[in-house]
C-alpha cells in the first residue's frame, strides 16, 4: 500500500517534541506507536525504527516514531525511561489527531522502551496492545547471574578462547578478577538500573510486573536468543511464579528470534521483527 510520511511537532509541558507518522492511504483502525529504548532517537539503531514504521505503513498500519524530551530534535532535559509517561501521553494524543479513523494504539518498545511501555499502558484506555522486545529489567545481581550462566558457559566452548590460551595470550589474572566480581554481584542484593524512580522501595522488576498486570490488553514479547538483556528477563521470569502467571495468560504471545542480538542488527532479523509485528497486530 502507498503511504506518506508526515513530520509532526507537539507540546509536552513547555517543550516541543518532534516525530514522524508513516500514514497509509487507508489506515487500519489500530496504529503502532514506536517507543525508543536507551539514549536513542526516533531512527533507532541501524535505522530499525524507520524501517519498521515504513514496513507497517506498507501493510496499511499507521506508525509513529518520535523523540522524547531531551533526545533527537525534541526540546527539554533528557528523561530516564521511568519518567517519560508525559512524553508517551503527548505522543499518543498527537498520533490520534494525525490519523483520522484510528481508535486504538499498540505501543512497540525495545529494551527500556519496553519497560516504559509497561509502566504507561495500564493508565491509558486507548492502548490496546504492547509489543515488548528484550525488556530491560536490570539489577546488579540479575545481570551478574545471567552473565555467569550464559556468557561464561558459552565462552568455555568457544574455540577462540582455547586458541588464545594455547598461544599464551589469555590474561588469567584479569579473567579471575572479573569472575570474582561477577560471583560477588550475583550473590549480593539486587539494585535497579533505573534513574530517580529506581529509589522506590520496590525493585525495578517488581514495578514492571505491577505495571504489566494493570494492563489488560494483548501483549507480544519478542526475545533475541543472543542477548543478555533478554536472557536476564527470561531468567527473572523462570524464578518468579508471579511473572510466570502473567506470561502464561491467554492474551500474551511469546516469540524468539534465533541468533539475534539485542538491537536486531542484521536485515534478516529486522525483517523478522517487522513481519511478526504486522501479523500479530492483524491477528486480534
Question: What order of strands is seen across the sheet that includes strand 104-110?
Answer: 3-12, 15-24, 63-66, 30-35, 104-110, 127-133, 218-224, 252-257
What does the pLDDT read at residue 38? 77
Q: pLDDT value at position 202?
A: 83
Band (pLDDT 50/70/90 cuts) for residue 138 is: confident
The pLDDT tens digits of the residues spanning 48-69 come to 999 999 999 999 999 999 999 9
User: Is it the case that residue 161 has pLDDT exceeding 50?
Assistant: no
Give residue-wise pLDDT tens across range 185-203: 445 544 444 554 444 458 9
pLDDT at 247: 95
Q: Phi and psi at residue 85, in whole multiples of 5°? A: -60, -40
pLDDT (mean) for 229-244:
93
Residues 149-163, mean pLDDT to the nearest whole number: 55
Amino acid at each position: 500500500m502507498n503511504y506518506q510520511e508526515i513530520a509532526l511537532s507537539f507540546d509536552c509541558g513547555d517543550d516541543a517534541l518532534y516525530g514522524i507518522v508513516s500514514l497509509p492511504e487507508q489506515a487500519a483502525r489500530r496504529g503502532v506507536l514506536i517507543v525508543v529504548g536507551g539514549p536513542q532517537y526516533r531512527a533507532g539503531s541501524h535505522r530499525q525504527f524507520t524501517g519498521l514504521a515504513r514496513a507497517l505503513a506498507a501493510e496499511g498500519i499507521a506508525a509513529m516514531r518520535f523523540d522524547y524530551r531531551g533526545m533527537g530534535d525534541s526540546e527539554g532535559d533528557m528523561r530516564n525511561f521511568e519518567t517519560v509517561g508525559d512524553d508517551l501521553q503527548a505522543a499518543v494524543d498527537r498520533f490520534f489527531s494525525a490519523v483520522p479513523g484510528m481508535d486504538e494504539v499498540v505501543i512497540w518498545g525495545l529494551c527500556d522502551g519496553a519497560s516504559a511501555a509497561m509502566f504507561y499502558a495500564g493508565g491509558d484506555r486507548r492502548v490496546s496492545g504492547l509489543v515488548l522486545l528484550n525488556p530491560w529489567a536490570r539489577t546488579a545481581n540479575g545481570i551478574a547471574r545471567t552473565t555467569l550462566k550464559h556468557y561464561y558457559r558459552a565462552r568455555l566452548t568457544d574455540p577462540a578462547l582455547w586458541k588464545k590460551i594455547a598461544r599464551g595470550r589469555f590474561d588469567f589474572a584479569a579473567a579471575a578478577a572479573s569472575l570474582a566480581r561477577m560471583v560477588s554481584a550475583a550473590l549480593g542484593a539486587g539494585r535497579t538500573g533505573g534513574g530517580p524512580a529506581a529509589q522506590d522501595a520496590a525493585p525495578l522488576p517488581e514495578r514492571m510486573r505491577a505495571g504489566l498486570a494493570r494492563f489488560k490488553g494483548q501483549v507480544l514479547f519478542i526475545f533475541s536468543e543472543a542477548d543478555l538483556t533478554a536472557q536476564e528477563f527470561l531468567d527473572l521470569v523462570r524464578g518468579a511464579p508471579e511473572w510466570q502467571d502473567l506470561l502464561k495468560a491467554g492474551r500474551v504471545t511469546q516469540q524468539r528470534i534465533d541468533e539475534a542480538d539485542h538491537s536486531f542488527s542484521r536485515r534478516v532479523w529486522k525483517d523478522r521483527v517487522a513481519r511478526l509485528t504486522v501479523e500479530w497486530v492483524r491477528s486480534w
